[in-house]
Amino acid sequence: MIAVPTPRGLSLRISVTDRCQLRCRYCMPPEGIPLCGREAILTYEDIVALVVCLRDEFGLAKVRITGGEPLVRPGIERLIGRLTDLGIPDLALTTNGLRLAELAPVLKQAGLRRVNVSLDSLSPETFRRLTGGGDLQAVQAGIVAALDAGLRPVKLNAVLIRGINDAEADHLLDFAIDHDCELRFIELMPIGPGARLLPDGFLSSDAVRRRLGAHFTLTPIASETGSSARRYGVVNTEGNRGAVGFISSCSAPFCAECSRLRVTADGRLIGCLARDGGIPIRGMLRAGDAKAIGRSTRQVLKGKTADRNFEQRMAMASIGG
Ligand code: SAM
Ligand code: SF4
């Protein structure tokens, strides 16, 4: 195993809830997942304490709020306001977009910089089936509201599954170009119910790029610092320009450059999405034990390796995607 050197510009993904209104086929089983109880879920105070520790000791550069669905947690704008006050340079949020039309202005006002919105299909029927009842129109309205509120860049995340929505790659990219959003294709990962869709449903980034090549010109462009996406500038048949990214967690893992930590909704600090385990830090946070948090963080960072096997038993909605 190759140990990954301790990264400088650390990035933290915080799952603020394991709840979600949707049941995306690759993420949540139809019956949902066992939810953590009220006392187990990290409070906003716990989260702020964690961010302060990581900022002061490790130079935390980026925080992403995720879930479950982060916009179902009451008062999420209060947390964003408090994290903004801590001066984290890059504060972003990943959402299914269902509540974005209503919340985008409030989130912007609280200090949120930008959002990623999951959008796997532009067919209302396929969208409903894939997400377990999602309303495509509401998500599209959320994307427009985020753009109007200035939560830019708005990035759209799409997971393509062979035989379900893979024929929509071109359409999704045209939609992104038309709406001034950057689209990112995320490879389906064998985590949670996603595992049952592999291998038949899997489509590699290379396969998607080849398909897009028939209708778009793709030119490699620089990746953003710390980003897991390989990016391309694109021009469509009408000459309109945009950008597309590919997150190839399975076919071309980026573990050697990964500087991410994750914390689950119930306060487990995790170094790798693919591997089980992590360190429970909720008690340390509540005891105000910054030294123990620092020690745990170093331990998790030391455990990050450049070779990864998917052995994660938690659902993506628990880990925070
Ligand atoms: N609910 C929010 C959303 O859907 O954007 C945030 C949480 S969700 C777990 C974060 C991301 O994880 C989504 O973009 C989703 O597509 C992705 N995801 C979930 N399960 C996945 C899987 N098995 N393979 C690849 N991506 C997955
Ligand atoms: Fe919910 Fe996001 Fe998982 Fe879909 S991907 S079930 S929206 S947490």
The residue with greater pLDDT, 200 or 321, is 200
Per-residue pLDDT reduced to its tens digit, 12-70: 999 999 999 999 999 999 999 889 888 999 999 999 999 999 999 999 999 999 999 99
317 CB less than 6 Å from ligand 2? Answer: yes
Separation of 177 CA from ligand 1 center, angstroms? 22
Nearest-angstrom CA–CA distance, 139 and 116 = 12
Closest CA to 156 of 101, 202, 111, 97: 97
In this prediction, residue 11 has a pLDDT band, given cuts at 50, 70 and 90, of very high
Nearest-angstrom CA–CA distance, 177 and 234 = 9
Are 62 and 226 within 8 A, CB to CB? yes
Nearest-angstrom CA–CA distance, 53 and 93 = 20
| CATH assignment of 11-319, among 3.40.50.300, 3.40.50.2000, 3.90.1150.10, 3.20.20.70 | 3.20.20.70
Which helix (DSSP H) or strand (DSSP E) does residue 110 occupy?
helix 100-110
Nearest-angstrom CA–CA distance, 158 and 215 = 18
- The token pair at 215 is 């209708």
Matching residue, tokens 């990290």: 42
Per-residue pLDDT reduced to its tens digit, 65-119: 999 999 999 999 999 999 999 999 899 999 999 999 999 999 999 999 999 999 9
What whole-number percentage of the chain has pLDDT above 90?
A: 77
**Rg, Å, the chain Cα set:** 19
- Tell me whether strands 279-280 and 268-270 are parallel, antiparallel or unpaired: antiparallel
Nearest-angstrom CA–CA distance, 51 and 63 = 8
Separation of 205 CA from ligand 2 center, angstroms? 21
Altogether, the residues listed in the chain come to a count of: 321
Ligand 1: nearest atom to the Cα of 158: 16
pLDDT at 232: 97
The angle subtended at Cα 302 by Cα 91 and Cα 46, nearest 5°, is: 40
Nearest-angstrom CA–CA distance, 228 and 155 = 13
Torsion angle, CA of 49/297/77/100, rounded to 10 degrees? -170
pTM of the model: 0.94
249 CB less than 6 Å from ligand 1? Answer: no
Buried b (16+ CB within 10 A) or exposed e, 120-137: bbbeeebbeebbbebbbe
Residue nearest to atom 9 of ligand 1 (CA): 321
